[in-house]
Chain A
């Protein structure tokens, strides 16, 4: 859209016909509502292209690390609750439906329905975030954090002294709910009908976050939580074998030779030759003491117990969770941005700004919202559904 074209468009109307030809919603540099709509739409598509390219960087990081360490992804994916991911996929798909329906309502000028559809979309977005809050807080409590902060201990999966992350995540949303309710009451007392009409659906929207939290808590406590618990238990037993160098050094009943090996190993933990020496010495000691029968599974390398050892290390699992938090976190930020623009649309919908010649804003926000949904459609199987 060049300025030259815009100028010629306004000039063609002349001085007198300008107001008549141009309704309020039609910007003066556009000739027809369709021209205005089309240029806005092209701009939106270009924006969506930048969004796709932006997310592709993270998908690329995912592809590289999964190619290098498939077993880390397979193992760490077990910590993601498929049920919560699936329910969130459903919620997001439903919000896409209501969003597409909202575009239709704007085109057919059904104002009450348009407000209802936008409010449903917003509520679904809030439910999505509520479920996400459960997922995030659950992982943070277990120390399943990005590389550098990863502190998951299979023996003690739930850190007792960790702050209640869920409360902190819920706090801004609770404040928002209280704020909306207070505003609604004061608007009702003042008799401001427009504000009341806007704030009624927004109260439902703000409350929906806690529906999501409740839904997440309910599903998290379901049977998939049990399988998690068994995984923890298994790896917890195994973690007892993951003794640190310092605790090895603390053992007093070891022979002097073995102590020397451990000491050298402490100096260079990557020396596999020393590890083997230690292994041999310990095996000897066990056979001598008669306890070797209990540990015969140690002979074979490919047992299932061997698996958690490989992926549950801070640097390996940390990279998975870095990617997980980066991708889902930026996706959640997009949801928050979507909530922002949808609230704007809701207010304008109550004001009855849209009609069959001017529904562009609803359509553009809809396109953005569907793109956010599209990204989740790929994120869900890639992160949650790895065996």
Chain B
């Protein structure tokens, strides 16, 4: 009997040893997994970036940020959007994206209201949504990442006042329906009105976000106001259009132009002196941190709050200012791609 017990003890010990070795080997494998480090998602997770006018160069930097974040998190990304400046089309695209149940959506809203219903629907369905570049404050999106557009307007106004020597007539070519452009315009107008009483903002026009439209608007304005010395275009295509119009009208260098964003055309014009200054947004940051936030929301790597879905507490920073810098001829070289 004793012998039998001993045999049993030896057997069980061997088995335990085997299990231990087995589990241990499993562990070493896991540590190998852990080698990939920190935040590590699944390549099957798909995060979607949705915007409007999806072909324009401006988004490419945002998308680059989005893609770079996806590479470091090991997840997939997709870029979708309305091809035109069309709120209905963007809503349709967003609805299509939601129907596919992606891991998260980063949306740039064409206007503050058009996408609220769709965004809320996505959030209620458990799909994390953040807004970038252009927000929709009435929606349930978790966060907004973008330029403080009012501040951008303020910066543009200060720059403009400096360029105009503190007095003269200025015009704004913008996208009146879009919140970020409205704020830029408001920041610009408020600053001029309060700080530079000698400067008059004589017109706020709709450039439709298109180079040619903006150009013709600028042409008209130049014709109407011969003493116009400053034009602030609140978006990139507008700046290039305005530049071309001013150049064609032969009003350079009297008319100072402040553009927006750092696309190739704008940068070239800054370099050649057609556009006096442009405002560079942290577009890469928008894309990068949008995906970071979406990833955190998707994986619940957020503040430990019981029932975080319903608590109403901010789970991620609700507002991220991605910064704004003034690009002039002096520093334009550093904005070209290397």
| A pairs with B | no
A residues lining the B interface (CB < 8 Å): none
B residues lining the A interface (CB < 8 Å): none
